[in-house]
Amino acid sequence: MNTRLTRIAILLALALVAPLCPVSADIYFYRDAQGRAHFTNVPYGPHDEKAQPLQLLGPDQQQPRQKPQLTLREAVSACRAFVREEATYHGTAIPLLGNEFDAYIRSSDDKVMTFGGSEDRFRFGKCMDEKGYPLDLPPE
């Protein structure tokens, strides 16, 4: 009976002390001769390759990835090409009837001007918004 109480006391003591002990584990990575990346918990590879500590950032330390910002002219050009390609793919571009989409930047006030069908104008506005240039296009 005495040994049983001793065991319970030891387990209770460990349960109370264990959370107070800091625990850490390092993750290392190295590249082998073929250029493949390997991850390990030891600071060297199987053939004595020098492994480097892997730096992991917490959510508060991570910096958001930024897409390269296009100029307004580049965004208009990219979105115009996208809308025209979509119209050709879906079969809605019929140049003979005059409903081909176009967009340009008016030089007098740098305002984006569009003309074409409402579906094409919607796609263009959505594309421009995704590129960081929201447009206030009037409804047709």
Q: Residue 54: which of 26, 32, 24, 25 has the closest Cα?
A: 26
Q: How confident is the model at residue 52 (pLDDT cuts 50, 70, 90)?
A: low
Question: Which pTM does this prediction carry?
Answer: 0.47
What is the model's pLDDT at position 96?
Answer: 46
Identify the band that residue 57 occupies on the pLDDT scale cut at 50, 70 and 90.
low
Grouping H, G, I as helix, E, B as strand and the rest as coil, residue 30 is: strand
In the predicted model, is pLDDT for residue 95 greater than 60? no
| Residue of higher predicted confidence among 74 and 5 | 74
Least confident of 2-6, 21-25, 119-123: 21-25
Four-residue CA torsion sign, 113, 116, 118, 119: negative
Buried b / exposed e over 43-74, threshold 16 CB at 10 Å, is eebeeeeebeeeeeeeeeeeeeeeeeeeeeee
